[in-house]
Structure 1
Amino acid sequence: MNNIKEIRAVDSLERFHFIPEWAKKKRMKQADIVRSTGADKGVVSRWFNEGVVPKDEYLVKLAVIFGTDISGLFRHPDEERIAQLLRGRSAAERQKAIEMLELLFKDNDPAGVQNLNQRAVSR
């Protein structure tokens, strides 16, 4: 039940994906996405401006374009980078990384670090 706050926080967002953030990180404009995916410009505009979730065929193309997997499109690119660094690591390595992050952020956001710790342990 600890993740209820997270779920409600997500429910309050206007969109569930981070396609605009991925595009910005890759220095791509909507027109670049239109050309790369073959999607109509109105469809791409709705992804960016209305939070519409792309159809599966476009999710696959977007993941390839941005160099992530489909689930990465639903995480901020910076969070995905951290997830990529932890992927495939042993439990001991993940715990060491968590401890280092806790030291780094101990004065800034204890609740956020605790939440990060819970997520990493559950993987």
Structure 2
Amino acid sequence: MSTSVTDEQIRALAATAKPYSLAILQWAPGRTMEGAAAIELEHQRRMVSLRADGVIAILCPVASDAVAGVAIMTVPAEEASEIMAGDPCVRAGMMRYEVHPCHGFPGDALPG
């Protein structure tokens, strides 16, 4: 950590924080069920569509045997939870999810 940050910079950034929701998708026992590939493709289509619609601000598939992915969502946690409950992989028992309210800083982005 080489960048020095002042208390004033911390307070200024904190003042710009906006509410978001963090969705964490984890693999469940049904991950390898018959027909899983087709269900996962529908999950992917849905997640990319939610991203295109602005409901998901940042979408991060995870290369892990435990965590399937994370998404920063622009809707309140209750709505995000309802959206994730309707996910094809969740409904099929291939994934489970957690949604947590969080705060982020508008304009933050993944490096290109």
TM-score if structure 2 supplies the norm length?
0.27
TM-score if structure 1 supplies the norm length?
0.25
